[in-house]
Amino acid sequence: MKSLKTCWSVGWRVALCVLLLLWIFHTIFLNQGRLWSQQNGMQWEQMSRDQQWHLAWSNGPRELWHTLYSVHPGALLLSVILFGLALWLGVVRWRMVLAVQGLDLSLLRATRISLVAQFFNSFLLGSTGGDLIKAFYAARETHHKKTEAVTTVFVDRLLGLWAMLLFAGVMMVPNSQMLLQHHDLAAAALVVLAMLVALTFVLIVAFWGGVSKRFPRARHYLRRLPKGELLERSLDSCRQFGKEKMFLLKAVALSLVANIVLVLQISVLGGGLDQSISFTALLVIVPIITCISALPITPNGLGVREQLFVRMLAVIAIPGTAALSLSLLASAEGLFWSLIGGVVYFGVREKEHLSEVTHETMAENN
Protein backbone atom coordinates (compact mmCIF):
# COMPACT_ATOMS: atom_id res chain seq x y z
CA MET A 1 0.00 0.00 0.00
CA LYS A 2 2.82 2.35 0.90
CA SER A 3 4.60 1.55 -2.38
CA LEU A 4 1.42 2.35 -4.33
CA LYS A 5 1.12 5.68 -2.52
CA THR A 6 4.77 6.45 -3.30
CA CYS A 7 4.30 5.51 -6.97
CA TRP A 8 1.26 7.78 -7.20
CA SER A 9 3.10 10.66 -5.50
CA VAL A 10 6.02 10.34 -7.89
CA GLY A 11 3.90 9.47 -10.93
CA TRP A 12 1.69 12.53 -10.99
CA ARG A 13 4.69 14.81 -10.53
CA VAL A 14 6.53 13.17 -13.43
CA ALA A 15 3.38 13.39 -15.58
CA LEU A 16 2.97 17.09 -14.73
CA CYS A 17 6.64 17.65 -15.50
CA VAL A 18 6.26 16.03 -18.95
CA LEU A 19 3.09 18.02 -19.71
CA LEU A 20 4.73 21.32 -18.75
CA LEU A 21 7.74 20.56 -20.90
CA LEU A 22 5.57 19.56 -23.87
CA TRP A 23 3.53 22.73 -23.44
CA ILE A 24 6.53 25.04 -23.40
CA PHE A 25 8.25 23.24 -26.28
CA HIS A 26 5.06 23.35 -28.33
CA THR A 27 4.54 27.06 -27.63
CA ILE A 28 8.12 27.91 -28.59
CA PHE A 29 8.02 25.74 -31.70
CA LEU A 30 4.74 27.31 -32.86
CA ASN A 31 6.36 30.73 -32.63
CA GLN A 32 9.36 29.48 -34.61
CA GLY A 33 7.04 27.98 -37.21
CA ARG A 34 5.18 31.28 -37.58
CA LEU A 35 8.44 33.19 -38.05
CA TRP A 36 9.70 30.66 -40.61
CA SER A 37 6.47 30.85 -42.60
CA GLN A 38 6.61 34.67 -42.67
CA GLN A 39 10.23 34.64 -43.83
CA ASN A 40 9.33 32.25 -46.65
CA GLY A 41 6.26 34.16 -47.84
CA MET A 42 3.71 31.67 -46.48
CA GLN A 43 0.37 32.65 -44.92
CA TRP A 44 0.44 31.17 -41.41
CA GLU A 45 -3.13 32.18 -40.55
CA GLN A 46 -4.51 30.40 -43.63
CA MET A 47 -2.92 27.07 -42.72
CA SER A 48 -4.84 24.30 -40.97
CA ARG A 49 -3.88 23.40 -37.41
CA ASP A 50 -2.23 20.18 -38.61
CA GLN A 51 -0.13 22.13 -41.10
CA GLN A 52 0.88 24.65 -38.44
CA TRP A 53 1.88 21.94 -35.99
CA HIS A 54 3.82 20.05 -38.65
CA LEU A 55 5.69 23.19 -39.64
CA ALA A 56 6.33 24.05 -35.99
CA TRP A 57 7.75 20.64 -35.05
CA SER A 58 9.74 20.46 -38.28
CA ASN A 59 11.55 23.78 -37.72
CA GLY A 60 11.35 24.35 -33.95
CA PRO A 61 13.64 21.51 -32.76
CA ARG A 62 16.26 22.44 -35.39
CA GLU A 63 16.24 26.09 -34.28
CA LEU A 64 16.44 25.11 -30.61
CA TRP A 65 19.38 22.80 -31.29
CA HIS A 66 21.11 25.55 -33.28
CA THR A 67 20.75 27.93 -30.32
CA LEU A 68 22.04 25.34 -27.84
CA TYR A 69 24.94 24.43 -30.12
CA SER A 70 25.94 28.08 -30.59
CA VAL A 71 26.79 28.70 -26.91
CA HIS A 72 30.36 29.90 -26.49
CA PRO A 73 32.51 27.11 -24.90
CA GLY A 74 34.35 29.54 -22.64
CA ALA A 75 31.12 30.97 -21.25
CA LEU A 76 29.74 27.47 -20.77
CA LEU A 77 32.83 26.38 -18.84
CA LEU A 78 32.80 29.50 -16.65
CA SER A 79 29.10 29.06 -15.84
CA VAL A 80 29.71 25.42 -14.86
CA ILE A 81 32.46 26.58 -12.49
CA LEU A 82 30.18 29.26 -11.01
CA PHE A 83 27.47 26.64 -10.38
CA GLY A 84 30.05 24.49 -8.60
CA LEU A 85 31.17 27.51 -6.54
CA ALA A 86 27.56 28.08 -5.41
CA LEU A 87 27.35 24.41 -4.36
CA TRP A 88 30.61 24.73 -2.43
CA LEU A 89 29.36 27.81 -0.59
CA GLY A 90 26.38 25.68 0.43
CA VAL A 91 28.81 23.14 1.87
CA VAL A 92 30.52 25.85 3.92
CA ARG A 93 27.13 27.02 5.23
CA TRP A 94 26.13 23.46 6.21
CA ARG A 95 29.36 23.08 8.21
CA MET A 96 28.49 26.31 10.02
CA VAL A 97 25.05 24.87 10.85
CA LEU A 98 26.63 21.62 12.06
CA ALA A 99 29.08 23.51 14.27
CA VAL A 100 26.26 25.21 16.18
CA GLN A 101 25.05 21.75 17.23
CA GLY A 102 28.56 20.66 18.19
CA LEU A 103 28.80 18.40 15.15
CA ASP A 104 32.05 18.38 13.21
CA LEU A 105 32.69 17.32 9.62
CA SER A 106 35.85 18.19 7.77
CA LEU A 107 35.47 20.36 4.69
CA LEU A 108 36.53 17.47 2.46
CA ARG A 109 33.99 15.06 3.95
CA ALA A 110 31.23 17.65 3.92
CA THR A 111 31.99 18.38 0.26
CA ARG A 112 31.89 14.68 -0.62
CA ILE A 113 28.58 14.03 1.09
CA SER A 114 27.03 17.19 -0.39
CA LEU A 115 28.01 16.09 -3.90
CA VAL A 116 26.51 12.68 -3.23
CA ALA A 117 23.35 14.39 -1.97
CA GLN A 118 23.26 16.44 -5.18
CA PHE A 119 23.43 13.17 -7.11
CA PHE A 120 20.57 11.53 -5.21
CA ASN A 121 18.39 14.64 -5.23
CA SER A 122 18.64 14.82 -9.03
CA PHE A 123 18.34 11.18 -9.95
CA LEU A 124 16.12 9.62 -7.29
CA LEU A 125 12.40 10.41 -7.42
CA GLY A 126 11.41 8.33 -4.42
CA SER A 127 11.39 9.15 -0.72
CA THR A 128 15.10 8.44 -0.30
CA GLY A 129 16.67 11.76 -1.15
CA GLY A 130 20.02 13.44 -0.69
CA ASP A 131 18.90 15.37 2.38
CA LEU A 132 18.22 12.18 4.34
CA ILE A 133 21.57 10.76 3.30
CA LYS A 134 23.27 13.96 4.49
CA ALA A 135 21.44 13.71 7.80
CA PHE A 136 22.28 10.05 8.38
CA TYR A 137 25.89 10.59 7.38
CA ALA A 138 26.28 13.48 9.83
CA ALA A 139 24.62 11.40 12.57
CA ARG A 140 26.97 8.48 11.92
CA GLU A 141 30.01 10.72 12.18
CA THR A 142 28.88 12.41 15.39
CA HIS A 143 27.89 9.75 17.91
CA HIS A 144 24.49 9.03 16.38
CA LYS A 145 22.90 12.41 17.03
CA LYS A 146 20.24 11.67 14.46
CA THR A 147 17.77 14.29 15.62
CA GLU A 148 20.38 17.04 15.66
CA ALA A 149 21.74 15.91 12.28
CA VAL A 150 18.30 15.97 10.67
CA THR A 151 17.74 19.40 12.22
CA THR A 152 20.93 20.76 10.64
CA VAL A 153 19.76 19.70 7.17
CA PHE A 154 16.32 21.20 7.80
CA VAL A 155 17.78 24.48 9.09
CA ASP A 156 20.34 24.67 6.28
CA ARG A 157 17.55 24.32 3.72
CA LEU A 158 15.39 26.91 5.42
CA LEU A 159 18.18 29.46 5.79
CA GLY A 160 19.24 29.04 2.17
CA LEU A 161 15.69 29.49 0.90
CA TRP A 162 14.97 32.40 3.26
CA ALA A 163 18.15 34.20 2.17
CA MET A 164 17.18 33.76 -1.48
CA LEU A 165 13.66 35.05 -0.82
CA LEU A 166 15.12 38.02 1.04
CA PHE A 167 17.55 38.66 -1.81
CA ALA A 168 14.69 38.60 -4.32
CA GLY A 169 12.62 40.94 -2.13
CA VAL A 170 15.45 43.47 -1.84
CA MET A 171 16.17 43.32 -5.58
CA MET A 172 12.53 44.15 -6.32
CA VAL A 173 13.23 47.73 -5.24
CA PRO A 174 15.59 48.70 -8.11
CA ASN A 175 13.34 46.73 -10.49
CA SER A 176 10.05 48.16 -9.21
CA GLN A 177 9.19 49.92 -12.48
CA MET A 178 9.66 46.70 -14.45
CA LEU A 179 7.50 44.79 -11.97
CA LEU A 180 4.69 47.34 -12.19
CA GLN A 181 4.67 47.22 -15.99
CA HIS A 182 4.47 43.43 -16.34
CA HIS A 183 1.66 41.53 -14.65
CA ASP A 184 3.26 38.06 -14.93
CA LEU A 185 6.43 39.19 -13.21
CA ALA A 186 4.46 41.15 -10.61
CA ALA A 187 2.33 38.08 -9.80
CA ALA A 188 5.46 35.95 -9.39
CA ALA A 189 6.97 38.65 -7.16
CA LEU A 190 3.89 38.57 -4.93
CA VAL A 191 4.23 34.79 -4.58
CA VAL A 192 7.85 35.24 -3.53
CA LEU A 193 6.94 37.94 -0.99
CA ALA A 194 4.23 35.68 0.45
CA MET A 195 6.79 32.87 0.76
CA LEU A 196 9.20 35.29 2.47
CA VAL A 197 6.60 36.34 5.06
CA ALA A 198 5.56 32.73 5.75
CA LEU A 199 9.12 31.46 6.07
CA THR A 200 10.12 34.40 8.26
CA PHE A 201 7.33 33.43 10.65
CA VAL A 202 8.47 29.80 10.64
CA LEU A 203 12.07 30.77 11.41
CA ILE A 204 11.06 33.12 14.22
CA VAL A 205 8.96 30.40 15.85
CA ALA A 206 11.66 27.75 15.30
CA PHE A 207 14.61 29.83 16.53
CA TRP A 208 13.05 31.96 19.25
CA GLY A 209 9.74 30.29 20.09
CA GLY A 210 6.99 32.17 21.86
CA VAL A 211 4.18 29.69 21.27
CA SER A 212 4.57 28.11 24.72
CA LYS A 213 4.21 31.51 26.38
CA ARG A 214 0.81 32.11 24.78
CA PHE A 215 -0.26 28.46 24.95
CA PRO A 216 1.34 26.89 28.05
CA ARG A 217 0.15 23.38 27.12
CA ALA A 218 1.59 23.54 23.59
CA ARG A 219 4.54 21.34 24.56
CA HIS A 220 2.20 18.85 26.18
CA TYR A 221 0.19 18.47 22.98
CA LEU A 222 3.39 18.31 20.92
CA ARG A 223 4.60 15.30 22.91
CA ARG A 224 1.33 13.51 22.21
CA LEU A 225 1.87 13.69 18.45
CA PRO A 226 3.46 10.73 16.60
CA LYS A 227 7.20 10.93 17.34
CA GLY A 228 6.42 13.92 19.53
CA GLU A 229 9.58 13.52 21.59
CA LEU A 230 11.71 13.76 18.47
CA LEU A 231 9.80 16.87 17.38
CA GLU A 232 10.38 18.47 20.77
CA ARG A 233 14.06 17.62 20.64
CA SER A 234 14.27 19.13 17.15
CA LEU A 235 12.67 22.35 18.42
CA ASP A 236 15.16 22.50 21.28
CA SER A 237 17.96 22.10 18.73
CA CYS A 238 16.51 24.97 16.70
CA ARG A 239 16.54 27.23 19.76
CA GLN A 240 20.33 26.93 19.77
CA PHE A 241 20.49 28.68 16.39
CA GLY A 242 18.49 31.60 17.77
CA LYS A 243 21.07 32.07 20.51
CA GLU A 244 23.95 32.29 18.03
CA LYS A 245 23.50 35.78 16.59
CA MET A 246 26.79 35.84 14.69
CA PHE A 247 25.94 32.47 13.13
CA LEU A 248 22.73 33.84 11.63
CA LEU A 249 24.49 36.89 10.21
CA LYS A 250 27.31 34.82 8.73
CA ALA A 251 25.00 32.14 7.31
CA VAL A 252 22.70 34.67 5.66
CA ALA A 253 25.65 36.69 4.30
CA LEU A 254 27.17 33.53 2.82
CA SER A 255 23.83 32.61 1.27
CA LEU A 256 23.52 36.06 -0.30
CA VAL A 257 26.97 35.65 -1.86
CA ALA A 258 25.86 32.27 -3.24
CA ASN A 259 22.78 33.94 -4.74
CA ILE A 260 24.93 36.52 -6.52
CA VAL A 261 27.11 33.70 -7.87
CA LEU A 262 24.01 31.97 -9.29
CA VAL A 263 22.91 35.19 -10.97
CA LEU A 264 26.41 35.56 -12.44
CA GLN A 265 26.15 31.99 -13.72
CA ILE A 266 22.96 32.78 -15.66
CA SER A 267 24.38 36.10 -16.86
CA VAL A 268 27.53 34.42 -18.20
CA LEU A 269 25.47 31.68 -19.83
CA GLY A 270 23.21 34.29 -21.45
CA GLY A 271 26.26 36.09 -22.80
CA GLY A 272 27.48 32.77 -24.20
CA LEU A 273 24.22 32.58 -26.16
CA ASP A 274 24.85 36.10 -27.52
CA GLN A 275 21.94 37.51 -25.55
CA SER A 276 22.27 40.96 -24.00
CA ILE A 277 20.49 40.50 -20.66
CA SER A 278 20.25 43.27 -18.07
CA PHE A 279 22.17 42.16 -14.98
CA THR A 280 19.96 44.34 -12.77
CA ALA A 281 16.87 42.56 -14.09
CA LEU A 282 18.50 39.16 -13.55
CA LEU A 283 19.11 40.06 -9.90
CA VAL A 284 15.37 39.77 -9.32
CA ILE A 285 14.34 37.34 -12.09
CA VAL A 286 16.78 34.54 -11.24
CA PRO A 287 15.89 34.38 -7.50
CA ILE A 288 12.17 34.48 -8.35
CA ILE A 289 12.56 31.56 -10.75
CA THR A 290 14.71 29.61 -8.29
CA CYS A 291 12.34 30.15 -5.35
CA ILE A 292 9.16 29.19 -7.20
CA SER A 293 10.72 26.19 -8.95
CA ALA A 294 11.91 25.00 -5.51
CA LEU A 295 8.29 24.29 -4.58
CA PRO A 296 7.65 20.50 -4.63
CA ILE A 297 5.58 20.50 -7.82
CA THR A 298 7.71 18.48 -10.26
CA PRO A 299 10.95 16.47 -9.85
CA ASN A 300 13.81 18.94 -9.45
CA GLY A 301 11.53 21.75 -10.69
CA LEU A 302 11.78 20.49 -14.28
CA GLY A 303 9.11 22.00 -16.50
CA VAL A 304 8.20 24.69 -13.97
CA ARG A 305 11.65 26.25 -14.27
CA GLU A 306 11.50 26.26 -18.09
CA GLN A 307 8.06 27.89 -18.06
CA LEU A 308 9.31 30.58 -15.70
CA PHE A 309 12.47 31.28 -17.69
CA VAL A 310 10.51 31.79 -20.90
CA ARG A 311 7.79 33.97 -19.33
CA MET A 312 10.08 36.02 -17.07
CA LEU A 313 12.78 36.68 -19.68
CA ALA A 314 10.16 37.67 -22.25
CA VAL A 315 9.68 40.73 -20.03
CA ILE A 316 13.15 41.95 -21.02
CA ALA A 317 12.71 40.99 -24.71
CA ILE A 318 14.66 37.72 -24.68
CA PRO A 319 13.37 35.37 -27.43
CA GLY A 320 11.59 32.24 -26.26
CA THR A 321 14.08 29.88 -27.92
CA ALA A 322 17.01 31.61 -26.24
CA ALA A 323 15.25 31.63 -22.84
CA LEU A 324 14.41 27.93 -23.15
CA SER A 325 17.99 27.16 -24.20
CA LEU A 326 19.27 29.12 -21.21
CA SER A 327 17.08 27.11 -18.84
CA LEU A 328 18.02 23.77 -20.41
CA LEU A 329 21.73 24.58 -20.27
CA ALA A 330 21.47 25.69 -16.62
CA SER A 331 19.67 22.42 -15.81
CA ALA A 332 22.34 20.46 -17.68
CA GLU A 333 25.03 22.12 -15.55
CA GLY A 334 23.21 21.01 -12.43
CA LEU A 335 23.08 17.47 -13.82
CA PHE A 336 26.81 17.67 -14.56
CA TRP A 337 27.57 18.31 -10.90
CA SER A 338 25.11 15.55 -9.99
CA LEU A 339 27.13 13.18 -12.17
CA ILE A 340 30.26 14.32 -10.35
CA GLY A 341 28.45 13.41 -7.14
CA GLY A 342 27.66 10.00 -8.62
CA VAL A 343 31.34 9.44 -9.42
CA VAL A 344 32.24 10.44 -5.86
CA TYR A 345 29.60 8.08 -4.47
CA PHE A 346 30.76 5.04 -6.42
CA GLY A 347 34.40 5.90 -5.82
CA VAL A 348 34.43 6.39 -2.04
CA ARG A 349 31.20 4.74 -0.83
CA GLU A 350 33.05 1.89 0.90
CA LYS A 351 35.85 4.07 2.28
CA GLU A 352 33.39 6.62 3.68
CA HIS A 353 30.66 4.05 4.51
CA LEU A 354 28.29 5.80 2.14
CA SER A 355 26.74 2.55 0.94
CA GLU A 356 25.87 1.65 4.54
CA VAL A 357 24.33 5.06 5.07
CA THR A 358 22.25 4.63 1.91
CA HIS A 359 21.00 1.23 3.05
CA GLU A 360 20.09 2.63 6.49
CA THR A 361 18.22 5.51 4.88
CA MET A 362 16.26 3.16 2.62
CA ALA A 363 15.42 0.90 5.54
CA GLU A 364 14.23 3.89 7.56
CA ASN A 365 11.78 4.84 4.78
CA ASN A 366 10.37 1.30 4.30
What is the phi-psi region of residue 300: left when phi exceeds 0, alpha when psi lies from -120 to 50, beta otherwise? left
- Nearest one of 221, 245, 249 to 235, comparing CA atoms: 221
Residues in the chain: 366
Burial code (b: 16+ CB inside 10 Å, e: under 16) for 304-341 equals bbbbbbbbbbebbebbbbbbbbbbbbbbebbeebbebb
Residues 6+ apart with CB under 8 A from 68: 325, 328, 329
Per-residue pLDDT of the chain (366 residues; tens, 9 = 90+): 556 665 665 566 667 667 766 776 777 777 767 767 766 777 777 788 888 888 878 877 877 787 778 889 999 999 999 999 999 999 999 999 988 888 888 888 889 888 888 887 775 544 345 677 777 777 776 666 667 777 888 888 889 999 999 999 999 999 999 998 888 889 999 999 999 999 999 888 888 876 555 555 555 555 555 655 666 667 777 788 888 878 889 999 999 999 999 999 999 999 999 998 899 999 999 999 988 887 766 666 667 788 888 888 988 888 888 888 888 888 888 888 888 888 888 876 655 555 555 555 444 444
pLDDT digits (tens, 9 = 90+) for 205-242: 888 876 555 555 555 555 555 655 666 667 777 788 88
pLDDT digits (tens, 9 = 90+) for 49-96: 888 888 878 877 877 787 778 889 999 999 999 999 999 999 999 999
Whether 254 contacts 95, CB under 8 Å? no
Cα separation of 123 and 130, whole Å? Answer: 10
